[in-house]
Amino acid sequence: MQNRIPSTQESNSKFNLNLLQGRIAQVVVQTVFEEFGYSICPYGYENYLSGLLPQMKSSDDPVVKKIRKSPDFFIYDSDLNKGCLAEVKSTAEDETSYDLKFNLPEIQAQWAESILVVYGCRSANIYCLPISEVQKSKGIDLKEEFKTLPQFFERINYDRYNAFMDEVRKTVGKFTY
């Protein structure tokens, strides 16, 4: 007899598993920024209102909706005395045909100054682009349309980044079966 999750639990399980994948991506992204001397602070509601996640996910209240869509991190460069907000997403799919799972015009209107950071789960590649410059929601070629972290963040040295990402891949790879 096969174990089957009842449909209500199935919905919650899918939500929780997506949350897990997203949190893994956030930890990797946070680790990379810290490695290169950036200060990075959790900003998104998942970090402060985690007990309310199940209730908030279905609310139509405008304030709750804006909080739900808040970026994940505040990234600060102390050398330049500048900061940015970053929304971190992850994909286990093909990085040459990435589909956003959120309403792009809504996010661009609410958080235009933020940066979209996408972590490729299979490759451990990290791509980024200002949310205001994202042109479409479907079929995004992350390798062509987005930038790598060294192309976007000047404190991140390309060669050192590649060497560090090799170590990240080895570390993350320990968790695969």
The per-residue pLDDT for range 29-48, each reduced to its tens digit, is 999 999 999 999 998 766 66
pLDDT at res. 155: 93
pLDDT at res. 126: 96
pLDDT at res. 72: 92
The whole-chain average pLDDT of the chain stands at 87
What predicted TM-score, i.e. pTM, was given to this entire model?
Answer: 0.85
pLDDT at res. 26: 94
Q: Is the pLDDT of residue 59 over 80?
A: no
Reading phi first (left if > 0) and then psi (alpha if -120 to 50, else beta), residue 139 is in left
Higher per-residue confidence, 147 vs 11: 147
pLDDT at res. 85: 96
The per-residue pLDDT for range 111-145, each reduced to its tens digit, is 999 999 999 988 999 999 999 999 999 999 999 99
Distance of CA 95 to the CA centre of its chain: 14
User: Phi and psi (nearest 5°) for 27?
Assistant: -65, -45
Across the range 57-71, mean pLDDT stands at 76
Tell me which CATH code domain 7-169 carries. 3.40.1350.10
Q: Is the pLDDT of residue 86 over 60?
A: yes
Q: Is the pLDDT of residue 8 over 90?
A: no
Q: Which residues pair with 129 in a beta bridge?
A: 116
Across the range 10-26, mean pLDDT stands at 83
pLDDT at res. 140: 96
